Structure 1
Amino acid sequence: MNYIIIGGLIGAGLLIWIISSISQIRSDIARINVNLNKTAKQVGVPDTITDELKCLLSENKKIEAVKKYRTATGLGLKEAKEYIDSLNN
């Protein structure tokens, strides 16, 4: 009986650690993307993803734009939707 409780506690701890790690990785990816975008701007690399996203928005394909941005950046749904909403303004 005690082994089941101990196993459950270890499993819960492991799950919490995994969720925390995923959150940290997403945060790191977002930070890396910000730095990459700043560097690309300084070097003069065109921002083609934003142009593609704006094109999708003009075609009323907001969900597709959010998916494309998530794929390109690795960000979560909330962050991607906020960014796409900011392009709409």
Structure 2
Amino acid sequence: MDILTSAAVVVVVLAGVGGIESRISRADRRMARVEHKLDLILDHLGLREDDPRLEEVTGLLRAGKRMEAIKVYREATGAGLKEAKDAVDRMAA
């Protein structure tokens, strides 16, 4: 009986974690879309953020140091790993 109860608890916990991960993933995708739209608006208006650390990111990308560029971008902006990777990928394009 105890094994069945433990198994049921594990299944419920795993289902809950899966639901939370799904919500976070959707929120991340929505945030990325909003950031992309904001970048388009800033480009259209001719506005750019002049952060010297972002110049360093560009230099690192030119030198082929993508991982270091992501690290510097994260330090400069406070972005998460995925957000920073996506931003550096956009900068490289």
Q: TM-score, normalised by structure 1?
A: 0.67
Deviation at 1:63, TM superposition (A): 1.6
Query: Unmatched 5+ residue regions in structure 2?
Result: none
CA RMSD of aligned residues (A): 3.1
Change (3 A) 1:13 1:22: same
How many pairs are equivalent?
86
**2:85 matches 1:56:** no
Contact 1:57 1:65 in 2 (8 A): yes
Q: TM-score, normalised by structure 2?
A: 0.64
Contact 2:60 2:69 in 1 (8 A): yes
Distance 2:21 2:40 in 1: 29
Distance 2:73 2:23 in 1: 22
Contact 1:30 1:75 in 2 (8 A): no
Bigger shift: residues 45-54 or 32-41 = 45-54
**2:43 matches 1:37:** no
- The secondary structure found in structure 2 opposite 1:76 is helix
Contact 1:56 1:62 in 2 (8 A): yes
- The secondary structure found in structure 2 opposite 1:45 is coil
Deviation at 1:52, TM superposition (A): 4.0
- Alignment equivalent of 1:11, drawn from 10, 13, 21: 13
Query: Unmatched 5+ residue regions in structure 1?
Result: none
Distance 1:22 1:61 in 2: 29
What is the aligned-residue identity percentage?
Answer: 22
| Structure of larger gyration radius | 2
